[in-house]
Amino acid sequence: MSDATLKTTPLNALHHELGATMVPFVGYDMPIQFPLGILKEHRHTRTKAGLFDVSHMGQLQIYGKDGAKIFERLVPGNIRGLDTGCMRYTQFTNDDGGILDDLIVTNAVDHLFVVVNAACKEQDIAIMKSAFGNELRILDDRALLALQGPVAVNVLVRLAPSAANLTFMTGAAMEVGGFHCFVTRSGYTGEDGYEISVPAENAECLARKLLTSHEVEAVGLGARDSLRLEAGLCLYGQDIDISTSPVEAALLWSISKRRRKNADFPGANRIQKEITEGISRQRVGIKTKGRALARRGCKILDQNGKLIGKITSGCFGPSVQSSIAMGYVIREYATINTVVFLMIRDNLIPAIIVEMPFITPGYKR
């Protein structure tokens, strides 16, 4: 039975019909896994294609000729420099340089298309409402489906031939199976794939069309988490939050030279200072020796037993076939191949700082 206080996505009935295990997730009744199970759903996405319901995320449009210019007052990303159809990852920062949320902005010809995290949706809408007023449109009548994996392109072009023309981090409005959609070649798994913004009333029909292909399996939030962690992608609220700056989070690549130089975004002082003077801690990838899992909150120690950081996300990486994690360590220990120790229950488990992503991404650039 579903909890009546939970919100549902337009695919809720379909999830139940497919036999999903449903859990409350940021106020929504969401599938954590389908009968296939998390490991197989993960591997299927890496080898074929997985269909994810990410309709809980916030979808917005910003109109007005100064949209990109005003947007840059809220984020450190280069929004004015976005060519038509191109998209970019950036963060809402506060005046202290902390991350309020991370988001994707696409230049959709006559407007900006914005996708934000479900957990931060209300805060983000308030931020954008005060910046854009009536130029902000909240797309609460649309679902968001992600089709991810090496054969996602083959499946989608049957319903939308022009999807093949998109390259990684670009998007366009197009018909998918006869429905008016906005499609981007992007995702949260490290694989090639698409995110499809579709009118809520067509979402279930489109999902069923995609699932008729034997190459596509429904995938839940469990595998979504292990896929994004293998891909080295942050989860807001775990790996980044209000206390972490984009520099500490190793997201400096998302701040262009112009934005760094002009320092005209919230928290620019801290971020500029961190760029010139360095940071005290940094987000890193960590691989443990053996299969012991480093869960969130697990302490990271150096060879002398000194506390040097904490794990923010950890799981068994089904494609890496080992225990992987992300965490923050004191800057001196952030160098690749540094040996550290993780306090897992009462045992000290050796681990190593590694480069992220943990897998080779399949993005089509």
Partner 1 sequence: MFIKYSKDHEWVSINNDIGTVGITDHAQKHLGDVVFVELPNLYKIISKGDEACVVESVKAASEIYAPLSGEIIQINDLLTNTPSVINTDPLCEGWIFKIKISNTEEINTLMDEIAYKNFTS
Per-residue contact string for residues 307-336; x = within reach of partner 1 by CB under 8 A: --------xx------x-------------
**From 14, 38, 145, 174, residue interacting with partner 1 (rule: CB under 8 A):** 38
Closest to partner 1 by CB, 179 vs 316, is 316
Give yes or no for residue 43 binding partner 1 (CB under 8 A): no
Other CB atoms within 10 A of residue 136 CB = 20
Tell the smallest beta-carbon distance from residue 185 to partner 1 (Å): 28
Query: Token match 């990486």: residue?
Result: 317
Tell me if 258 sits within 8 A of 317, measured CB to CB. no
**From 35, 37, 161, 278, residue interacting with partner 1 (rule: CB under 8 A):** 37
Tell the smallest beta-carbon distance from residue 226 to partner 1 (Å): 7
Tell me if 324 sits within 8 A of 255, measured CB to CB. no
Give yes or no for residue 249 binding partner 1 (CB under 8 A): no
**From 6, 18, 39, 70, residue interacting with partner 1 (rule: CB under 8 A):** 39
122 is in an annotated binding site: no
Give yes or no for residue 293 binding partner 1 (CB under 8 A): yes
Tell the smallest beta-carbon distance from residue 264 to partner 1 (Å): 44
Give yes or no for residue 222 binding partner 1 (CB under 8 A): yes
Tell the smallest beta-carbon distance from residue 191 to partner 1 (Å): 19
Report the distance separating Cα 87 and Cα 72, nearest Å. Answer: 14
Give yes or no for residue 169 binding partner 1 (CB under 8 A): no
Only segment of 46-54, 93-101, 122-130, 292-300 that touches partner 1 (CB under 8 A) = 292-300
Tell the smallest beta-carbon distance from residue 257 to partner 1 (Å): 41
Give yes or no for residue 45 binding partner 1 (CB under 8 A): no
Give yes or no for residue 179 binding partner 1 (CB under 8 A): no
Closest to partner 1 by CB, 126 vs 348, is 348
Give yes or no for residue 173 binding partner 1 (CB under 8 A): no
CA distances from 331 to 57, 247, 274, 282, 319 (A): 33, 12, 12, 6, 29
Burial (CB count <10 Å: 0-12, 13-18, 19+), residue 273? middle
Tell the smallest beta-carbon distance from residue 136 to partner 1 (Å): 38
The residue ranges that bind partner 1 (CB under 8 A) are 32-33, 37-39, 222, 226, 291-293, 295, 315-316, 323, 345, 347
**Positions at the binding site for substrate:** 195
